[in-house]
Amino acid sequence: MLCDCKIIKGEDCHGASVSEKNIIKATGGGAFKFADLFKEKLGMTLDKVDEMNSLVAGANFLLKAASHEAYTYMDGQKEYVQIDQNDLYPYLLVNIGSGVSMIKVDGDGKFERVSGTSVGGGTFWGLGKLLTKCKSFDELLELSYSGNNRVIDMLVGDIYGGMDYSKIGLSSTAIASSFGKAVSEDKDLEEYKPEDVARSLLRMISNNIGQIAYLNALRFGLKRIFFGGFFIRGHAYTMDTISVAVNFWSNGEAKAMFLRHEGFLGALGAFMSYRKDGFADLMAHHLVEQVPTKPSRNAGGGLNNSKILKDGNENISIECTMQLSN
């Protein structure tokens, strides 16, 4: 994940003179994978920031500084949650990217990755690409909107003649086996609608993540579970499925919460690491500004704003600040 940046020409971040030095803060696997490419094609050096540190720092900042950041989503209803900064910790941060990391956060800079799963956004995209021929992640998500997972998933009612299994609290519409109907039906893949396959796949992965997240929260006695990452992207059905899973396994005692700027946690956390490098002008309270944003289903609402500064010696500093909508 490329983060928001400060590019400096003429002198390095401690004032030492250099002939030509462009630095961009970066976090995640791409910071390592594409470092040489950035250097070769753009002449830029990626200053690598630890991924988990960045995620936690970004989440902590947003939950403290951005109003209406956290919300619940179930049955099509979005409700913002007021976060008490004095009672924020501990909480579970579930970051869903290619895989899933579950991080117990106890304070600023105090966290532990307690669990995770390889079944995440990469699984959805990878299997979806193979099964539906979709060419992009967004296309696969869009396809799932019009799908019906009940065509492919085996429900409790399919096993019990349309009846609930009320003795153990399972309704007839609960999924007993994801993709289970494909076992008993004499159909090839081409005979299933791609949108139904996409919907079933999304439901399977979201349910799995929601269940594992709650069990980890239960394990550590955590009251709050925040979900973020590239996989969610404000997608209503994804959030609803995760929420239903958490609600079901907790018997209604826990709720899944989502972040408005979910896709920017790592980038924001990496950006804030400039404070550790002595940039007083990048203190966190200067980052949050009220700006108008165009609503987007797939975007968290974050904007970048840049300004170019020159001094008498033509040293150039390009400051990129992140503005968060309120």
pLDDT in single tens digits along all 326 residues of the chain: 444 443 333 344 444 433 346 888 888 888 899 989 988 888 888 889 999 999 999 999 999 988 899 999 998 999 999 998 889 999 999 999 999 999 999 999 999 999 999 999 999 999 999 999 999 999 999 999 999 999 999 999 998 999 988 888 889 999 999 999 999 899 999 999 999 999 999 999 999 999 999 999 999 999 899 999 889 988 998 999 999 999 989 989 999 999 999 888 988 898 888 766 555 344 444 444 443 343 333 333 333 333 333 344 433 333 444 444 44
Partner residues linked to 72 by β-bridges: 79
Cα–Cα distance measured from residue 238 to residue 240, given in angstroms and rounded to the nearest whole number? 5
Contact by Cβ (8 Å): 259, 265:
yes
Question: Has residue 6 been placed in a domain?
Answer: yes
Q: What is the dihedral of CA 36, 42, 48, 52, to 10 degrees?
A: -100
Q: What is the dihedral of CA 269, 23, 319, 325, to 10 degrees?
A: -30
Instruction: Give the domain range for residue 326.
Output: 1-69+261-326
What secondary structure, in 3-state letters, does 228-261 show?
ECCCCCCCHHHHHHHHHHHHHHCCCCCCEEEECC
Question: Has residue 301 been placed in a domain?
Answer: yes
Sign of the torsion formed by the C-alpha atoms of 265, 268, 271 and 277: negative
Question: Has residue 185 been placed in a domain?
Answer: no
Task: Give the pair of three-digit tokens for residue 10.
Answer: 């003429």
Query: What is the total count of domains within the chain?
Result: 1
From residue 161, how far is each of 90, 154, 172, 195, 292 by CA, in Å?
Answer: 45, 12, 9, 26, 53
Question: Has residue 313 been placed in a domain?
Answer: yes
Cα–Cα distance measured from residue 90 to residue 106, given in angstroms and rounded to the nearest whole number? 4
Q: Which candidate, 237, 222, 268, places its Cα nearest to that of 94?
A: 222
Question: Has residue 232 been placed in a domain?
Answer: no
Question: Has residue 252 been placed in a domain?
Answer: no
Query: What's the residue count for the chain?
Result: 326
What predicted TM-score, i.e. pTM, was given to this entire model? 0.77
User: For 71, which DSSP code?
Assistant: E
Question: Has residue 127 been placed in a domain?
Answer: no
User: For 153, which DSSP code?
Assistant: S
Which DSSP helix (H) or strand (E) runs through 268?
A: helix 265-272
Contact by Cβ (8 Å): 30, 97:
no
Question: Has residue 76 been placed in a domain?
Answer: no
